[in-house]
């Protein structure tokens, strides 16, 4: 018997949120919306038992109204929305558990949401609201009116293993097979597989073909980053240089090996990079992307993006301690008619992604502390979601060698059809039909299950219960078990795998990317201890099989053979790609700079890429674990953006802290991807130095999001960016310790701007000396470190004011001495505030400091031979604005040496005043100067914190 | 001899480590134990002088924040909790722990009676993390909390369902009769007066729309206290951001541990 229970909180703010958003999707007539939680309970309950379930669990007597065993009478147009059967549904699961708690008979539950839409609404309005605000048909079903309960299938186990005949297939047939099965393999790879099984004298099974597609996917094996590439580089004057690149990934690794600092623990070999925190503790750091899933189902995509990268950190035996996120979206105000078919509106993607990140990070109890949000038309079809995670582990505690005879143990979530083909799907471009083909690749996370993994792995590590560990991510078991058993060989039985619902074929179980799973290699003698630990922490344990020593991948389902291949073919059989790349430098343009006005500065301050993201950031817990020293927003009103995050890992001794920062400048990359890499690295370092980080112990991660690398211009830009990274690593003496590439970010043949994220991890020697951008006092001197640069290419000003500049600022040859000088001054306690000059140049940096501190400033901007506009807004690297007490002027001058010059002072006044030197009297601050711009502080606050220009 | 304080952990609990740190700094001896360990008897509630229910998302806050753990407390540990209350042992619930105590009927109590107070969705309709200023109500009848009565505490909130709501005015009046333990204060950056000013329901000083700016309450006997903000995240000097001055949360934990002694 199935009973429906409707619960409504009349003042549920989710209803008002629908009303507030309706006009944004073109629906004017919605006046009210009531949200009802619908529960379908299937079970043998008496009326008294049902009553207990409702009143002791479901209904809050203070705020809820309920209809038990019936349907809420319609108050308006009714729309009901439910997750597709089988999707993760925590409310359903917890209600089932609550029944057990109460001693009731077993029940099965599915849930739904119901919206009563009240107002003057046409059929089209209801359809628009449903499609744009209430439901996402990638993962949900919806209808106007009542939605019947649909329980997940009860199909019998399906142990069918089908052979896939390849022997007679021609080239076209092979390519069609690759596309139809979403294998994302090219012709050479398909032919290699065909050849291998011709030698074996049998066709591959479906599972073997899928295993190869997962393991050989761009996502898992980084084909482009291992390819041999010929680059033709044409300069703006037409000079042509051809160069050969023997692998991009090897080039990045080579620099790290060359630099090899003593604090480097592990780079590129594992799920995350590892560096030393102190003698006893190491730090693990990883940044991933989850772009394609977030484009289709923003909440679930970002949600599982956080879950995935946190598992990368668990996968090196670390306890996760913080998250980061960098997000790139199309313009939030994109007109509807400019939205391509099959694409969600950037605003919806943003809101879903932000909610998804917050939900997962907050529920794991991890502070989300560093990030960025960029808006650009180039990301309309392909948003970018970079998720990072930081963890700590005792030095030397991460075991990496499975032994013959060890059991292959899977911990955590159950397997469903969700997340099938994630790895291969992310290795192809998207178009309007993508949803139909790969909807199953998208899923929703279950952070509480992952939280259990965090607790269990930390304890299992300390008790030395396992010999190796890996995250179960892209490619599912096929990748995790396949990689862990690469040297030894494995024998796995899929019939023991706990499923979310029956009916999965063996190949589906094998490659499912169902979330929240970790695989470990456990000596048989430790199994009982592991089981006891997992029972105590509510974590499910599955013994999949053993490490054999025969160097074969053997998978069965009970007695049925599923996969039997040599590990050597799986891991070394993939042919290396030969690729062609081309890059042409843009022709320089003549740029006419306007006469700068207050309006210019206010427009930059209010630009979505500069203005406060506080409404996003406050949805993330940045305080949990009690270690946050420098927060995302600083100053007396806690609304000035911080340059970087400083964290003291809970449980570590002393006053040493970790600093996290990032650099990203895709606008520069449009003109010069090589410079983009160097400028992004500079941005990451100067942000890190600005809060007190030591520039001599910085590790970086690369994250490349690019278009289709089989197109030579995309690949050309990618190769130039990698060259910039290797040059930058040497210049800044910063090793890359891990990285990630996400290619094929194209929609209908349009590529995103090649986007490199540099994430930096450093140390603050004494957190009591950490500073932020708002700590100055009236009367303090303001100092400028670094010199301007006339080139405005890639700058926010060129974009906002339509200057059409293509020449980008020159990267620095020798940046470390200036950063060491600043660091020494900060470490000595002489600097009260610091802020880096990035988007909007010195003008925005100074104004942001004033806004953050709610103080006036008066500065004389040195022009360095440039026109005043360019001097104010250029985005040359290597520049920071510092403040220091006037009494320390001589000391600060000594610390900064030739790198710093006095810029002006902090005032108790209400204005931000920019002056320029009177050129007839020289360039110094003490000389005559002319007032150029005066901005009331209140106007700057409104522009920067509210995005409003009066 | 240090005082044994129990910090129960349910799947999804996540501020247990900071809570343990605060208890240690306050001179107590914290034990974090999973509910499963309490149920199996591996760890006993009766062996502890006080209970601190920490923050987090027990069971993912499915079916309403804290509701599932509240049900477990009522169905599995009702006798032990009654015995602890009988013995006058202090109990403190923070954030999710406060939600659990309210949903279990322990706050404002008595357990088993009809529930007239709840914690529900923030008025702004979203999770929010920011620092707030709290006043420890001097009129609160909690004896152990009275040690810090009248002081202010600066600490963060981090919750989506922190709005204190009451069934009717009579319930609100009952709370005002000595059961209000903490109130949100206005925290303008540059206070113009030395007298603390109540938030007056204004966002963001009252970050969730709680009735009468209530941030925390106690039970009739005053042993059981709960609050939404996180004083355990401000027990060390460097944890406080720039901005409004405000007290540490440590004296609150010292009072809690002292009462358990």
Nearest-by-CA chain B residue for A774:
B242
CB contact under 8 A, A365 and B233: no
Proportion of chain A in helix, strand, coil states, percent, rounded to 5: 35, 25, 40
Give the closest-approach CA distance of A262 to chain B in angstroms.
30
Q: Which of B68, B125, B239 sits opposite A17 (nearest CB)?
A: B125
Q: What is the pTM of this model?
A: 0.95
pLDDT higher than 80, residue A235: yes
CB contact under 8 A, B156 and A623: yes
Give the closest-approach CA distance of B24 to chain A in angstroms.
12
- A650 Cβ under 8 Å from any chain B Cβ: yes
Give the closest-approach CA distance of B192 to chain A in angstroms.
14
Q: Which of A91, A634, A650 sits opposite B241 (nearest CB)?
A: A634
A553 bridge partner residues: A490, A565
Structure tokens of A427? 């290795």
Contacts of A3 (CB under 8 A, 6+ apart): A40, A41, A42, A45, A50, A68, A69
Residues of chain A contacting residue B62, judged by C-beta atoms under 8 Å apart:
90-91, 93-95
pLDDT higher than 90, residue A921: no
Could you give the C-alpha distances from B50 to A625, A798, B8, B78, in angstroms and in order? Answer: 22, 63, 11, 16
Euclidean distance between CA atoms B205 and B157, whole angstroms: 11
Euclidean distance between CA atoms A930 and A449, whole angstroms: 63
Residue A509 CB-half CA count within 13 A: 28
The average pLDDT across A787-807 equals 95
Contacts of B66 (CB under 8 A, 6+ apart): B58, B96, B97, B98, B99, B100, B101, B102, B103, B119
Whether A568 and A903 have beta carbons less than 8 Å apart is answered as: no
Q: CA-CA-CA-CA torsion for A833, A835, A840, A841, nearest 10 degrees?
A: 90
Q: Which of A91, A448, A651 sits opposite B11 (nearest CB)?
A: A448
Taking CB atoms and an 8 Å cut-off, how many pairs form between chains A and B?
A: 167
A239 bridge partner residues: none
Residue found under tokens 């009542």: A146
Nearest-by-CA chain A residue for B39:
A536
Euclidean distance between CA atoms B227 and B214, whole angstroms: 9
Whether A151 and A85 have beta carbons less than 8 Å apart is answered as: yes
Give the closest-approach CA distance of A14 to chain B in angstroms.
6
pLDDT higher than 70, residue A728: yes
Q: Which of A620, A650, A768 sits opposite B17 (nearest CB)?
A: A650
Give the closest-approach CA distance of A636 to chain B in angstroms.
4
Q: ipTM of this model? A: 0.96
- Residue closest to A368 by CA, chosen among A392, A391, A393, A389: A389
CB contact under 8 A, B63 and A621: no
CB contact under 8 A, B14 and A623: no
Nearest-by-CA chain A residue for B77:
A101
Predicted confidence (pLDDT) per residue in A852-897, tens digit: 999 999 999 988 889 999 999 999 999 999 999 999 999 999 999 9
CB contact under 8 A, A637 and B189: yes
CB contact under 8 A, B238 and A768: yes
CB contact under 8 A, A98 and B189: no
Whether A444 and A363 have beta carbons less than 8 Å apart is answered as: no
> What spatial distance separates the first Cα and last Cα of chain B, rounded to whole Å?
9
Could you give the C-alpha distances from B242 to B87, B129, B151, in angstroms and in order? Answer: 42, 16, 20
Euclidean distance between CA atoms A31 and A116, whole angstroms: 11
A485 φ, ψ (degrees, to nearest 5): -95, 15
Using DSSP's 3-state secondary structure scheme, residue A291 falls into helix
DSSP single-letter state for residue A73: P
Task: Please tell me the predicted confidence (pLDDT) of residue A440.
Answer: 55
Q: Find residues 663-722 of chain A whose CB sits inside 8 Å of chain B.
A: none
Predicted confidence (pLDDT) per residue in B163-196, tens digit: 999 999 999 999 999 999 999 998 753 444 556 7
Could you give the C-alpha distances from B77 to A566, A570, B3, B57, B256, in angstroms and in order? Answer: 55, 54, 22, 20, 22
Predicted confidence (pLDDT) per residue in A257-277, tens digit: 999 999 999 999 888 999 999
- A96 Cβ under 8 Å from any chain B Cβ: no
Residues of chain A contacting residue B14, judged by C-beta atoms under 8 Å apart:
363-365, 451, 624
Helices (H) and strands (E) in chain A, counts: 31, 39
B140 catalytic? Reply is: no
Residues of chain B contacting residue A98, judged by C-beta atoms under 8 Å apart:
63, 68, 71
Euclidean distance between CA atoms A195 and A892, whole angstroms: 70
Predicted confidence (pLDDT) per residue in A890-917, tens digit: 999 999 999 999 999 999 999 999 998 8
Contacts of B79 (CB under 8 A, 6+ apart): none
Q: Which of B67, B127, B232 sits opposite A57 (nearest CB)?
A: B67
CB contact under 8 A, B165 and A628: no
Task: Please tell me the predicted confidence (pLDDT) of residue B189.
Answer: 39
The average pLDDT across A617-633 equals 96
Predicted confidence (pLDDT) per residue in A632-655, tens digit: 999 998 999 999 999 999 989 899
Euclidean distance between CA atoms B203 and B187, whole angstroms: 11
Using DSSP's 3-state secondary structure scheme, residue A205 falls into strand
Predicted confidence (pLDDT) per residue in A487-519, tens digit: 999 999 999 999 887 778 899 899 998 899 999
Residues of chain A contacting residue B63, judged by C-beta atoms under 8 Å apart:
57-58, 91, 94-95, 98
The average pLDDT across A609-629 equals 95
Q: Which of A419-428, A797-806, B31-40, B237-246 has the lowest mean pLDDT?
A: A419-428
CB contact under 8 A, A446 and B64: no
Residues of chain A contacting residue B74, judged by C-beta atoms under 8 Å apart:
56
Mean pLDDT of chain A: 93
Q: State percent of chain A over pLDDT 70.
A: 96
Helices (H) and strands (E) in chain B, counts: 8, 11
- A270 Cβ under 8 Å from any chain B Cβ: no
Residues of chain A contacting residue B61, judged by C-beta atoms under 8 Å apart:
363
A391 bridge partner residues: A284, A320
Euclidean distance between CA atoms A643 and A852, whole angstroms: 12
Residues of chain B contacting residue A535, judged by C-beta atoms under 8 Å apart:
36
Question: Looking at B95, B140, B155, B218, which residue is catalytic?
Answer: B95
For testing contact with chain A, the best of B119, B242, B246, B249 (most A CBs within 10 A): B242
pLDDT higher than 80, residue A158: no
Q: State percent of chain A over pLDDT 90.
A: 84
**Catalytic amino acids of A?**
219, 290
- Residue closest to A766 by CA, chosen among A716, A696, A692: A692
Task: Please tell me the predicted confidence (pLDDT) of residue A430.
Answer: 57
Burial state string for A547-585 with b = 16 or more CB within 10 A and e = fewer than 16: bbeeebbbbbbeeeebbbbbbebbbebbeebebebbbeb
Residues of chain A contacting residue B131, judged by C-beta atoms under 8 Å apart:
638
pLDDT higher than 50, residue A437: no
A580 φ, ψ (degrees, to nearest 5): -115, 135
Task: Please tell me the predicted confidence (pLDDT) of residue A424.
Answer: 62
Q: Which of A56, A364, A767 sits opposite B238 (nearest CB)?
A: A767
Pairing of strands A77-83, A107-119: antiparallel
- DSSP code string of A544-597: EEEE-SS-EEEEEETTEEEEEEEHHHHHH-SPPPEEEEEEEPPPP----PPPP-
Residue A745 banded pLDDT, cuts 50, 70, 90: very high
Give the closest-approach CA distance of A625 to chain B in angstroms.
6
For testing contact with chain B, the best of A41, A63, A619, A639 (most B CBs within 10 A): A63
Task: Please tell me the predicted confidence (pLDDT) of residue A460.
Answer: 98
Structure tokens of A824? 């020494």
Whether A432 and A340 have beta carbons less than 8 Å apart is answered as: yes
- Residue closest to A417 by CA, chosen among A304, A292, A508, A308: A508
Q: Find residues 518-547 of chain A whose CB sits inside 8 Å of chain B.
A: 535-538
Proportion of chain B in helix, strand, coil states, percent, rounded to 5: 30, 25, 45
CB contact under 8 A, A63 and B120: yes
A205 bridge partner residues: A163
Report the sign of the C-alpha dihedral through residues A837, A843, A844, A848, in that order.
positive
DSSP single-letter state for residue A267: -
DSSP single-letter state for residue B160: S
The average pLDDT across B84-93 equals 93
């Amino acid at each position: 018997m199935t009973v429906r229970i409707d619960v409504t909180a009349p003042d549920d703010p989710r209803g008002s949120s629908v009303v507030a958003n309706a006009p944004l999707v073109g629906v004017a007539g919605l006046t009210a919306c009531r949200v009802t939680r619908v529960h379908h309970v299937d079970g043998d309950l008496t009326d008294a038992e049902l009553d207990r379930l409702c009143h002791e669990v479901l209904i809050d007597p203070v705020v809820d109204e309920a209809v038990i065993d019936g349907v809420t009478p319609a108050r308006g147009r009714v729309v009901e929305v439910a997750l597709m059967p089988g999707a993760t549904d925590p409310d359903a699961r917890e209600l089932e558990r609550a029944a057990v708690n109460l001693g009731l008979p077993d029940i099965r539950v599915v849930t739904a949401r119901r919206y009563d839409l009240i107002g003057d609404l046409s059929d089209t309005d209801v359809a628009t609201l449903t499609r744009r605000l209430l439901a996402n048909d990638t993962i949900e079903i919806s209808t106007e009116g009542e939605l019947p309960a649909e329980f997940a299938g009860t199909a019998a186990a399906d142990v069918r293993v089908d052979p896939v005949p390849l022997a007679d297939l021609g080239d076209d047939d092979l390519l069609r097979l690759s596309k139809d099965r979403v294998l994302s393999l090219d012709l050479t790879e398909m032919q290699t597989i065909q050849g291998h099984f011709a030698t074996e004298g049998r066709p591959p099974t479906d599972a073997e073909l899928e295993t190869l597609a997962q393991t050989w996917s761009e996502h898992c094996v980084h084909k482009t980053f291992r390819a041999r590439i010929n680059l033709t580089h044409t300069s703006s004057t037409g000079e042509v240089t051809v160069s050969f690149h023997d692998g991009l990934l090897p080039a990045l690794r080579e620099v790290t090996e060359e630099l090899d600092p003593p604090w480097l623990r592990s780079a590129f070999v594992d799920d995350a990079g590892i560096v030393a925190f102190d003698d006893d503790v190491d730090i693990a750091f990883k940044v991933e992307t989850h772009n394609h899933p977030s484009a289709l189902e923003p909440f679930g995509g970002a949600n599982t993006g956080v879950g995935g990268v946190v598992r990368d950190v668990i996968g090196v035996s670390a306890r996760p301690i913080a998250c980061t996120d960098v997000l790139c979206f199309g313009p939030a105000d994109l007109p509807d008619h400019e939205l391509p078919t099959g694409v969600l509106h950037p605003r919806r993607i943003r809101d879903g992604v932000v909610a998804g990140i917050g939900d997962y990070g907050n529920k794991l109890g991890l502070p989300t502390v560093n990030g960025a949000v960029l808006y650009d038309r180039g990301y309309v079809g392909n948003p970018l979601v970079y998720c990072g995670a930081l963890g700590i582990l005792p030095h030397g505690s991460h075991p990496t060698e499975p032994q013959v005879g060890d059991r292959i143990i899977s911990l955590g979530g159950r397997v469903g059809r969700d997340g099938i083909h994630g790895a291969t799907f992310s290795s192809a471009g998207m178009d309007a039909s993508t949803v139909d083909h790969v909807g199953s690749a998208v899923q929703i996370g279950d952070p509480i299950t992952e939280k259990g993994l965090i607790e269990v792995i930390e304890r299992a590590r300390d008790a030395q219960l396992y010999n190796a560990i890996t995250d179960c991510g892209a490619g599912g078991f096929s990748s995790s078990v396949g990689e862990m058993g690469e040297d030894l060989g494995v024998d796995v039985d899929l019939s023991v795998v706990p499923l979310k619902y029956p009916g999965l074929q063996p190949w589906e179980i094998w490659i499912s990317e169902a979330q929240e799973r970790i695989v470990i290699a456990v000596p048989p003698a430790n199994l009982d201890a592991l089981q006891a630990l997992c029972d105590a922490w509510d974590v499910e344990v599955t013994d999949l099989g053993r490490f054999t020593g025969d160097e074969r991948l053997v998978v069965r389902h009970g007695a049925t053979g599923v996969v039997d291949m040599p590990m050597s073919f799986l891991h070394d059989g993939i042919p290396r790609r030969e690729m062609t790349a081309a890059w042409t430098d843009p022709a320089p343009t003549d740029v006419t700079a306007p006469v700068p006005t207050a309006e210019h500065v206010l427009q930059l301050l209010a630009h979505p890429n500069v203005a406060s993201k506080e409404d996003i950031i406050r949805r993330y817990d940045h305080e949990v674990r009690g270690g946050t020293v420098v927060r995302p927003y600083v100053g007396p009103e806690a609304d000035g953006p911080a340059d970087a995050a400083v964290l003291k890992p809970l449980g570590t001794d002393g006053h040493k802290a970790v600093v996290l920062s990032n650099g990203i400048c895709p606008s520069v990359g449009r003109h010069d991807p090589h410079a983009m890499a160097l400028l992004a690295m500079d941005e990451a370092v100067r942000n890190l130095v600005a809060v007190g980080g030591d520039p001599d112990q910085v590790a970086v991660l690369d994250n490349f999001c690019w278009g289709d690398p089989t197109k030579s211009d995309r690949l050309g830009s990618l190769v130039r960016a990698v060259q910039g990274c290797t040059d930058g690593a040497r210049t800044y003496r910063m090793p890359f310790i891990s990285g990630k590439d996400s290619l094929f970010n194209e929609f209908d043949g349009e590529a995103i701007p090649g986007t490199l994220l540099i994430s930096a991890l450093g140390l603050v020697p004494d957190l009591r000396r950490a500073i932020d951008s708002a700590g100055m006092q009236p009367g303090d001197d303001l100092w400028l470190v670094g010199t301007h640069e006339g080139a405005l290419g890639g700058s926010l000003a060129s974009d906002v004011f339509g200057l059409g500049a293509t020449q980008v600022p020159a990267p620095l040859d020798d940046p470390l001495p200036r950063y060491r000088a600043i660091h020494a001054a900060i470490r000595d306690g002489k600097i009260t505030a610091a802020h880096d000059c990035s988007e909007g140049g010195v003008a925005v940096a100074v104004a942001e400091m004033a806004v953050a501190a709610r103080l006036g400033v008066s500065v004389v901007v040195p022009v360095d031979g440039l026109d005043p506009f360019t001097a104010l807004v250029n985005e040359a690297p290597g520049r920071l604005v510092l403040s220091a007490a006037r009494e320390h002027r001589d000391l600060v001058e000594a610390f900064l040496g030739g790198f710093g010059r006095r810029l002006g002072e902090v005032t108790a006044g209400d204005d931000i005043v920019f002056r320029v030197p009177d050129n007839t009297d020289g360039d110094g601050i003490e000389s005559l100067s002319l007032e150029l711009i005066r901005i009331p502080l209140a106007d700057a606050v409104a522009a920067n914190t509210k995005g409003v220009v009066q | 001899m240090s005082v044994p304080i129990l910090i129960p952990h349910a799947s999804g609990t996540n501020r247990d480590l900071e809570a343990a740190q605060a208890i240690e700094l306050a001179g107590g001896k914290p034990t974090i134990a999973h509910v499963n360990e309490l149920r199996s008897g591996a760890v006993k509630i009766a062996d502890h002088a006080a209970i601190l229910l920490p923050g987090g998302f027990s069971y993912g806050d499915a079916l309403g924040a804290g509701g599932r753990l509240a049900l477990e407390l009522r169905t599995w540990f009702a006798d032990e909790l009654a015995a602890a209350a009988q013995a006058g042992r202090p109990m403190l619930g923070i954030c999710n722990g406060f939600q659990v105590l309210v949903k279990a009927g322990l706050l404002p109590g008595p357990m088993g009676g009809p529930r007239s107070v709840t914690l529900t969705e923030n008025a702004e309709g979203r999770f929010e993390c920011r620092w707030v200023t709290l006043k420890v109500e001097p009129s609160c009848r909690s004896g152990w909390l009275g040690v810090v009565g009248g002081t202010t505490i600066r600490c963060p909130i981090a919750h989506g369902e922190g709005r204190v709501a009451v069934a009717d005015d009579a319930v609100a009046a009952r709370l005002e009769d000595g059961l209000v333990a903490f109130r949100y204060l206005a925290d303008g950056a540059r206070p113009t007066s030395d007298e603390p000013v109540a938030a007056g329901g204004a966002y963001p000083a009252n970050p969730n729309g709680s009735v009468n700016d209530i941030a925390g309450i106690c039970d009739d006997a005053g042993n059981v206290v709960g609050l939404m903000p996180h004083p355990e995240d401000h027990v060390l000097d460097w944890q406080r951001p720039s901005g409004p001055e405000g007290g540490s949360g440590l004296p609150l934990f010292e009072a809690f541990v002292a009462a358990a002694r």
